[in-house]
Structure 1
Amino acid sequence: MKATIKDIAHESGFSIATVSRVLNNANASYSSKTAKKIKKAAQKLGYHKNNIAASLVKQTSTTIAVIINSVKTNFSFEILNGIQKEADKNHYSVIILYAGNRSDDLTKQAIETAIDRAVSGILLVAIQLNQENINLLNESRTPYLYVSTHPNNPTKKFVSSDNHLITETAVDYLVNEGHKKIGLVGIDHHTTGKERLAGYKTKMSINKLPIDKEFIQYGDYSYESGQKIMKEIAPLIKDGHLTAVIAASDMIGAGLIKGAKKEKVSIPNDLSIVSIDGTYICEITSPELTSITQDFTQIGILSVQSLLKTKDSKFVPIKLIKRESILHI
């Protein structure tokens, strides 16, 4: 088996990022002693720089790494389509690396693999980085960009929808349809969920509407989670305490509809649903789901453009698409 940069890092005791800089002769703040030790380890292990790494030295690397979180909904397919489409247009290849379900260890492994392959840049799809992985990326000097999520650090680049605006738009629409008892269901406790919760609370407050603690239900964006949530909120619906909800994903919305049949809740007569995402799932449910639709393909396209052409961060516009899951009251 060929020796890798990771093997050399283990042998020499230096970080992968430092090893990568030394072997690629990058101008950086490492000592001649460090360089000598790393090169000695590389020679011992029989390491030979691959073509991708060599091309990076010449600034001609044409590979983009996409590191993707294991989300339990279906939006990522459209993002990947957009990434591949734009990469092909620019004659770049794409490798996809798996980061598990918010696993810092698997994310680190994926980053290390991307650095080892000396890619041109890294796209982080639906991923939040811990400080160790941020440091790893920064030390490697590999360009990276957050996709479909907004980083905690405002100086880092991203391409995403505006999660505050998504729930603000949904609340406004439901209020215009006569609803006052509105819930937000299926969000997580991470950045995306927090931003959507903030937008929801802002608009509920502006409209002077009550926010019952039971109106906010947490989940993992999955179909199964939607079914479980419906079981929890069914008593509120039947008592008339809750007339509409914003579903955190199309899968949550579909799960709510499935669960509603078991709980003998009529959609939209008893409960109106606005779903976040707007993928094909909205059109195959019965009733079809009204949605706050994100342009995931465009997010993918713009993420590649931003990475390769160093464009600024961008929020991609959203759109309300009315279907059958809303009752005007």
Structure 2
Amino acid sequence: MPVTSVTTDLEALTMTLVADFPVAVERLWGAFADPRKLERFWGPPGYPATFDTYDLRPGGIAHYWMTSPEGERFHGRWEFAEVEEPHRIVVLDSFADAQGEVDPSMGTGRMTFTFESTAQGSRYTAVSANETLEDLEKVLAMGQAEGMTQAIGQLDTVLADLREYALGTGTQVEVLDDQHVRITRAFEAPLHLIWRAHTEPDLMKRWLLGPDGWKMTVCEVDPTPGGAYRYAWEPVDGTPGHGFGFDGETLVFEPERRIVTTERMTGADFPATTNDLSFDEEDGVTLLTLLVTYADAAQRDAILATGMTDGMETSYQRLERELVTTG
């Protein structure tokens, strides 16, 4: 975790976060100067940001929203007060409405981002200052400290060279807490191809099979939020009684960026999981990230113990053979 400290000063009405990264300060600055990179980490897991306006200059405006796994949007607005490349950005930070206008019912804070070189690479320091103690207590109660820590905790992936960071490592699993697991897999292929492989039934039937010896007999997809989907598999040899399937609901569908669905085994009575699947491309490498939310640690451990991720890796290797190498 790159975040080294998060401190609150009730007298100064500030919260300060410090994080260190093993990259040059210019690369760290670039992650904040490029809204497409900023979208990959600004927002805790499950609440990615989308910037539709980003004018990085004194007096410029940025409007963004974070989309929850249920599809709800939370809007924010920055007004850039100072921009000193590559060392300092100061923004007036406000909650906003869907049109990007400041929400007057919430206070406007002042965030100062500083970027400095260190012996090991670079350091990011964010100081969030509030106008009143009430405003500070309000944002802290909303989880600002936890949310920023989780968001900046994702920045190391954005700063890394994907070819070095993930390509060739197979399916990686990281247990985040009792309810959340993050799974990543990199492909040396363009994003549009990996996206198609996850959304077009004819392509899905060619690779989404798990271990050898299975066939996908049902692949019904409705990408509309609120729409249902259903998958089913049977043994190739036709062994009776061994088929299984999954079904659920589409919650979020953002083309070539994000798919959020619920998932439950068809006919089972345990709670559905929420699967938050996102796609990012850099230099011809596409990184797939799946954030799975479970009901509790017991469900998490039981599902991981089934060998789920081994089956995923077998499928991903098949995807590479069937689709990536053949185009």
Q: Which TM-score band applies after superposition, normalised by the shorter structure?
A: under 0.3
Say which structure is richer in strand: 2
Structure number with greater Rg is 1
Say which structure is richer in helix: 1
